[in-house]
Amino acid sequence: MVWILRSSILQLPYEIQEAAMVDGASTWEVLRRIIWPLLVPSVATAAVLTIVLSWNEFLFALSLTRSGAKTAPVGLQQFTGMYGTDWGNITAAATLIVAPILVLMVVLRRQMVAGLTFGAVK
């Protein structure tokens, strides 16, 4: 994620910042009105990738969590038992777990594509 943000920050044209300063904008105004809007796609991409990658850390969460505090994928494991597996409940729970990620991906798909390709080509 650091490399995505770093490449995006390095690709920002300094001339735009200079022009805003010449027009009388303060440092905070340049950051808020110019730099941040240009970095939104990269920040959105980094946020979505961080969420998805941390969501999939099943073994890490299984080994470090206590019985009272479990992540969603570890909680899904509890639907399997010694004598059978309740596939209907597993499917329903998995759908509820994946739904927020899918909604986030659909809403931020343009920002993700822009963020991933921003620093790729000069």
**pTM for the predicted model, two decimal places:** 0.56
| Residue 117, phi then psi, degrees to nearest 5 | -100, 0
Burial 92-118 (b: 16+ CB within 10 A, else e): ebeeeeeeeeeebeeebeebbebbbeb
Neighbours of 76 (CB within 10 A): 16
CATH class of 2-117: mainly alpha
| DSSP symbols for 5-50 | HHHHHHHS-HHHHHHHHHTT--HHHHIIIIIHHHHHHHHHHHHHHH
List per-residue pLDDT tens for the chain, 122 residues long: 788 888 888 888 888 888 888 999 899 999 898 888 888 888 888 888 887 777 777 777 777 777 777 778 888 888 888 888 888 988 999 899 889 888 888 888 877 777 666 655 55
